[in-house]
């Protein structure tokens, strides 16, 4: 899977290079490239480089799923091959690395490191648990709300959930003698399944919820529809709040904990906060920068300050105040990993669209479903798009592969762009809750051993239906009220 829907140091270690596995994987990718390039009857409307671009792009997407080598390395190889075989001029092949969206995501990782390293992120989570953690349901609401707050600034759901939320949740489970195995159902299994599903909702609610959300906004901009940090949260806040409120209750019915009352959890949080003491100088500085950056993001449509400029300003302030050192910046491996795969994949996808391949796909699908109205086609496309995530180990790979062509299909049918853009953007994140590998926190949570595979997939399947019902009814109605469509 692509390692950064946002993998950080909390992710399980990658396996060592296996020549046999890599050889098999590259053989599959070569077969994909050859099949797409030479076996598909491409229409004459596509530019000459279109078939080779499509082959290279789809081979890269498949590679991000089977991962013979890390996904960022695959993207760099694809960018190189695009130039070597003159599919793209070298200036275009490398053009994604100068895009402001790529720099926004990378800089946001540096901002998130300041929140985590100073302890401010953990303080926020513990404060919620102290307030609401007297029941098992309350603990889950506390941890879900913590991730929601952090998602406003940290585009790494693996860092938020795996590095901040999960350690607190596990500590609470262990207070009550709930460990992987025979005692998992006492509390831990419920906490893990509920918090993971809540993280997927928080990830869908913010422009900064995870690394590929800005990419969805960029795809929207390419068809003339503008998405901002404020417009995203305005669209997602109502259906997202309902999902966050309903999910812990639904999961309690599906995977009930033996313990319903957890007064020690609130005491644990209070004790941990006492150990931390008052807010340190560094925490206060980060909180001020956090508020400044979020304020400028919210007001970007009025101030006309680009959100990437705001992110860069926040990073510069962290450096100037000494919260981050240049060694910290150089050592933030996840950020540089994102920079490589995000910039390269973005440019390959954009070039694929420019070559006419995306339009050809849209025309073909529109022809097959010619009898449906845009609304009927939208529902069919959303369901296909959502449940296709059973085959993806990355929100980014899912979004890059399916968002642009489905967007083109619906726009060709006359669908309002707003409902299509936010539908596909948010649903790619919600769909990550289907499996234990749907996005980076999944493997991190599952690896602890509190939840059986059967329980994980059962909860994921039921919650997926609940989320679809909420977002397709209340969500669409809310979007109508605020003028999204």
Q: How many residues does the chain have?
A: 485
pLDDT by residue for the chain (485 residues), tens digit each? Answer: 333 443 343 444 455 778 888 899 999 999 999 999 999 888 888 898 889 998 998 898 888 778 888 888 999 999 999 999 899 999 989 988 988 878 877 887 788 788 888 888 889 889 999 998 889 999 999 999 999 998 887 777 877 887 788 888 888 988 888 999 999 999 999 999 999 999 999 999 999 888 889 889 988 998 899 999 999 999 999 999 999 999 999 999 999 999 899 888 888 889 999 999 999 999 999 999 988 988 888 787 788 888 889 889 999 999 999 999 999 888 888 788 878 887 888 788 778 878 888 778 777 776 777 678 899 999 989 998 999 888 777 788 788 888 988 898 899 889 999 999 999 999 999 999 999 888 888 888 888 889 998 999 999 999 999 999 999 999 999 999 999 99
CB 127 within 8 Å of CB 178: no
Q: What are phi and psi of 261, to 5 degrees?
A: -105, 130
Angle at 77 between CA 332 and CA 101, to 5 degrees: 50
DSSP code of residue 453:
H
DSSP code of residue 6:
T
Mean pLDDT for the chain?
87
* Calculated CA dihedral for residues 101, 102, 103, 109, nearest 10 degrees: 110
DSSP code of residue 69:
S
Distance CA 429, CA 151 (A): 13
Confidence (pLDDT) at 15: 54
Distance CA 375, CA 381 (A): 10
Say what the pTM is.
Answer: 0.79
Q: Which helix (H) or strand (E) holds 262?
A: none
Count, in order, helices (H) and strands (E) of the chain.
Answer: 25, 0
Q: Using alpha carbons only, how large is the chain's radius of gyration in Å?
A: 22
């Amino acid at each position: 899977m692509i390692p950064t829907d946002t993998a950080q140091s909390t992710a399980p270690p990658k396996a060592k290079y296996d020549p046999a596995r890599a050889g098999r994987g590259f053989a599959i990718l070569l077969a994909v490239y050859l099949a797409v390039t030479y076996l598909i009857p491409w229409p004459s409307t596509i530019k000459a480089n279109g078939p080779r671009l499509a082959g290279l792009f789809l081979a890269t997407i498949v590679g991000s799923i089977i991962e013979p080598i890390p996904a960022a390395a695959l993207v760099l190889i694809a960018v190189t091959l695009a130039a070597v075989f003159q599919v793209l001029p070298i200036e275009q092949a490398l053009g994604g690395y100068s895009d402001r969206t790529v720099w926004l995501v990378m800089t946001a990782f540096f901002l998130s490191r300041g929140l985590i390293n100073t302890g401010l992120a953990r303080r926020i989570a513990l404060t919620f648990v102290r307030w609401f953690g007297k029941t098992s349901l309350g603990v889950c609401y506390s941890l879900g709300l913590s991730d929601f707050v952090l998602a406003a600034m940290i585009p790494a759901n693996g860092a938020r959930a795996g590095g901040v939320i999960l350690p607190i949740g596990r500590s609470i489970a262990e207070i009550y003698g709930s460990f992987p195995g025979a005692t998992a159902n006492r509390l831990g299994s419920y906490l893990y399944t509920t918090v993971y599903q809540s993280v997927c909702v928080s990830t869908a609610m913010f422009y900064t919820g995870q690394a590929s959300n800005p990419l969805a906004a960029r795809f929207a901009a390419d068809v003339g529809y503008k998405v901002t940090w404020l417009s995203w949260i305005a669209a997602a806040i109502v259906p997202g709040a309902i999902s966050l409120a309903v999910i812990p209750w639904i999961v309690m019915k599906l995977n009930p904990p033996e313990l319903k009352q957890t007064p020690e959890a609130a005491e644990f949080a209070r004790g941990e906060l006492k150990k931390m003491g008052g807010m340190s100088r560094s925490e206060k500085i980060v909180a001020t920068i956090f508020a400044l950056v979020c304020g400028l993001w919210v007001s970007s449509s009025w101030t006309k300050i680009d959100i990437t400029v705001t992110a860069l300003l926040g990073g510069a302030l962290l450096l100037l105040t000494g919260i981050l050192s240049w060694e910290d910046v150089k050592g933030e491996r996840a950020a540089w990993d994102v920079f490589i795969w995000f910039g390269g994949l973005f440019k390959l996808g954009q070039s694929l669209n420019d070559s006419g391949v995306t339009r050809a796909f849209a025309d073909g699908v529109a022809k097959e479903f010619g009898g449906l109205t845009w609304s009927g086609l939208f529902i069919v496309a959303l369901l296909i798009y959502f449940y296709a995530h059973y085959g993806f180990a990355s929100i980014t790979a899912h979004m890059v592969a399916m968002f642009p062509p489905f967007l083109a299909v619906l726009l060709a049918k006359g669908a309002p762009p707003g409902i299509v853009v936010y539908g596909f953007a948010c649903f790619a994140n919600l769909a990550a809750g289907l499996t234990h590998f749907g996005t980076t926190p999944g493997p991190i949570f599952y690896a602890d051993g509190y939840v059986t595979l059967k329980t994980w997939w059962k909860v994921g399947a039921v919650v997926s239906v609940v989320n679809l019902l909420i977002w397709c009814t209340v969500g669409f109605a809310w979007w109508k009220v605020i003028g999204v469509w």
